[in-house]
């Protein structure tokens, strides 16, 4: 016999709509049934975060970026500049019939941190005449990544901690520097993607816009995004250490970037820049473009948050929708909690019932068919019988006719033979008399 006594009550399951969204709330929620206690000496578990970090370092990190933008807008160059290295890239043509995605994985290492970086580029985006289906392929790709993670999670024997996470953590959307407003293709694509991935819009080739135009352009873009209900990624402001910088950066969205891997000497340093006859645009100069801000935000400050959001928000949403689509739910119509087991059992019963019904149906159809066939065959039989009878009759008629003929013929024959007999007799008699006469004559002589 065993009983389990708990000093405090279990925290009740709450619906996702009011689930805690910040870490503080989480902590309060989890520890609501525990008393705080003061320590009287140094215990040593303050090394816990270090232990955790060490473990993660030995395992390595994983980060996946998706770059969406028209051909030639500078996606690959920006990636090269961002990660300070030369990824293998080649120029794509403008004549792609459909939008393709090209994913490349690299292992980067900086001091003792290993990063498995996957860069996914769109090929041929915005080049087609008819762009209605352009976004679909991107959405499908993102869904496929979620799907494979879900499959792994639902496996019986799984190895999640070794799994190479291929879900997209950040999506850089490259906006063409027209200076006016967003294109409709941009709006449509971003609207479709905002619930699946963290979107960070950037203005590409920002050295073609002047400062004042840029300012107006940014305001226009942000207002268009807001009025169309597009949810782009907001840098988190709940953590005090980074709240300030993140709020400031949130105001600078979308970042106007310039990418370059060529180096030009300015003063006595070699800096990454683009050289024009009228001057040099320095990539890492904050006055010239927002590249440094982008690097800060994307990598140095919020990489972990991007990964977390992907896992806890976008992936969970996908999972929930997928499972609900399949018919699994947590509560039955009476709002009582239903385990997956029950749901499954119900589904199975349903399915068994369906199967039986189908069997019945098939049996019925079969019986029907048999009946029809039988009727058909019976008809044929009758027909055949009729024909046979007819033939028989005809035959009998013929036979009787022939019999009659034969009889008449026989009659004729008998008559004829009688006559012949009679005539022969006559003839014989005649001969006899003539011979008698002759004999008589002879005697008389």
Partner 1 sequence: MEEREVEERVVEIEHPLPCLSESDTQGIIKGRDLFGYVGIEAVLDQMRRKTMKAGFEFNIMVVGQSGLGKSTLVNTLFKSKVSRKSCTPNYEEKISKTVHLQSVSHVIEEKGVKMKLTVIDTPGFGDQINNENCWEPIVKYVNEQYEKYLKEELNVNRKRRIPDTRVHCCVYFLPATGHWLRPIDVEFMRRLGKIVSIVPVIAKADTLTLEERLEFKQRIRQDLQANGIRVYPQKEYDEDAEDRILNDKIRENIPFAVVGTDKEHQVNGNKVLGRKTKWGIIEVENVAHCEFAHLRDLLIRSHLQDLKDVTHNIHYEAYRVKRLNESNANGLALSPLILENGTLEKSDRKPILTDVCRTVTGQAYGCM
Nearer to partner 1, 62 or 182 (CB): 62
Q: Is residue 36 within the footprint of partner 1 (CB under 8 A)?
A: yes
Nearer to partner 1, 79 or 232 (CB): 79
Nearer to partner 1, 152 or 224 (CB): 152
**Are 139 and 194 a contacting pair, CB within 8 Å?**
no
**Are 174 and 199 a contacting pair, CB within 8 Å?**
no
Spell out the alpha helix ranges (H) of 310-339. Answer: 316-325
Residue from 351, 388, 416, 431 touching partner 1 (CB under 8 A): that is 351
Q: Is residue 50 within the footprint of partner 1 (CB under 8 A)?
A: yes
Number of Cα atoms under 13 Å in the Cβ half of residue 77: 20
Nearer to partner 1, 162 or 287 (CB): 162
Q: Is residue 191 within the footprint of partner 1 (CB under 8 A)?
A: no
Q: Is residue 31 within the footprint of partner 1 (CB under 8 A)?
A: yes
Q: How far, in Å, CA of 325 to CA of 118, rounded?
A: 30
Q: Is residue 6 within the footprint of partner 1 (CB under 8 A)?
A: yes
Residue from 72, 128, 131, 150 touching partner 1 (CB under 8 A): that is 150
**Are 139 and 117 a contacting pair, CB within 8 Å?**
no
Q: How far is the CB of 300 from partner 1 (least distance, A)?
A: 4
Q: How far, in Å, CA of 95 to CA of 73, rounded?
A: 15
What's the distance, CA 386 to chain centroid? 64
Pairing mode of beta strands 170-175, 61-68: parallel
**Are 154 and 326 a contacting pair, CB within 8 Å?**
no
Q: How far, in Å, CA of 54 to CA of 127, rounded?
A: 46
Q: Is residue 229 within the footprint of partner 1 (CB under 8 A)?
A: no
Residue from 147, 179, 188, 207 touching partner 1 (CB under 8 A): that is 147
Question: Considering CB under 8 A, how many residues would be counted as binding partner 1?
Answer: 121
Nearer to partner 1, 150 or 222 (CB): 150
Identify residues 232-291 at the interface with partner 1 (CB under 8 A).
239, 241-242
Nearer to partner 1, 119 or 182 (CB): 119
Nearer to partner 1, 321 or 421 (CB): 321
Identify residues 101-130 at the interface with partner 1 (CB under 8 A).
101-113, 115
Stretch in the footprint of partner 1 (CB under 8 A) among 36-44, 175-183, 368-376, 429-437: 36-44
Characterise 72 by phi-psi region: left (phi > 0), alpha (psi -120 to 50), beta (else): left
Q: For residue 16, what are its two tokens?
A: 């996702």
Q: Is residue 100 within the footprint of partner 1 (CB under 8 A)?
A: yes
Distance (Å) of CA 105 to CA 73, 355, 400, 437 = 21, 47, 103, 149
Q: How far is the CB of 36 from partner 1 (least distance, A)?
A: 5
């Amino acid at each position: 016999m065993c009983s389990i006594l708990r000093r405090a009550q279990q925290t009740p399951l709450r619906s996702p709509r009011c689930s805690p969204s910040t870490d503080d709330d989480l902590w309060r929620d989890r520890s609501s049934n525990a008393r705080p206690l003061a320590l009287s000496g140094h215990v040593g578990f303050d090394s816990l975060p270090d232990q955790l970090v060490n473990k993660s370092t030995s395992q390595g990190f994983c980060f996946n970026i998706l770059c969406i933008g028209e051909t030639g807008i500078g996606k690959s160059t920006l990636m090269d500049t961002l990660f300070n290295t030369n990824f293998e890239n080649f120029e794509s043509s403008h004549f792609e019939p459909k939008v393709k995605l090209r994913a490349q994985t690299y292992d980067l290492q900086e001091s003792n941190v290993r990063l498995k970086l996957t860069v996914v580029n769109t090929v041929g985006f915005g080049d087609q005449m008819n762009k209605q289906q352009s976004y679909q392929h991107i959405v499908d790709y993102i869904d496929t990544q979620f799907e494979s993670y879900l499959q792994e999670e639902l496996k019986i024997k799984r190895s999640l901690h070794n799994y190479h996470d291929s879900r997209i953590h950040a999506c850089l959307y490259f906006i063409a520097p027209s200076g006016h407003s967003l294109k409709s293709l941009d709006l449509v694509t971003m609207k479709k993607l905002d619930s699946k991935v963290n979107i960070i819009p950037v203005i590409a080739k920002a050295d073609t816009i002047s400062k004042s135009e840029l300012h107006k352009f940014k305001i226009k873009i942000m207002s268009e995004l807001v009025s169309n209900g597009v949810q782009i990624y907001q840098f988190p402001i709940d953590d005090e250490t980074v709240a300030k910088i993140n709020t400031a950066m949130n105001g600078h969205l979308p970042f106007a970037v310039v990418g370059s891997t060529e180096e030009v000497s300015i003063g006595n340093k070699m800096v990454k820049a683009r050289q024009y006859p009228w001057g040099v645009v320095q990539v890492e100069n904050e006055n010239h473009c927002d590249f440094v801000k982008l690097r800060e935000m994307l990598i140095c400050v919020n990489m972990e948050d991007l990964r977390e959001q992907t896992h806890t928000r976008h992936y969970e949403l996908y999972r929930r929708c997928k499972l609900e689509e399949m018919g699994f739910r947590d509560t039955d119509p009476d709002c009582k909690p239903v385990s997956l087991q029950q749901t499954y059992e119900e589904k199975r019963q349903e399915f068994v019932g369906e199967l039986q019904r189908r069997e019945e149906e098939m049996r019925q159809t079969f019986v029907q068919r048999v009946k029809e066939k039988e009727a058909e065959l019976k008809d044929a039989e009758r027909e055949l019988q009729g024909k046979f009878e007819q033939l028989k009759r005809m035959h009998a008629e013929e036979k009787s006719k022939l019999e009659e003929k034969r009889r008449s013929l026989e009659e004729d024959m008998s008559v004829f033979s009688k006559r012949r007999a009679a005539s022969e007799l006559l003839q014989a008699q005649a001969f006899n008399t003539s011979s008698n006469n002759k004999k008589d004559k002879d005697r008389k002589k």
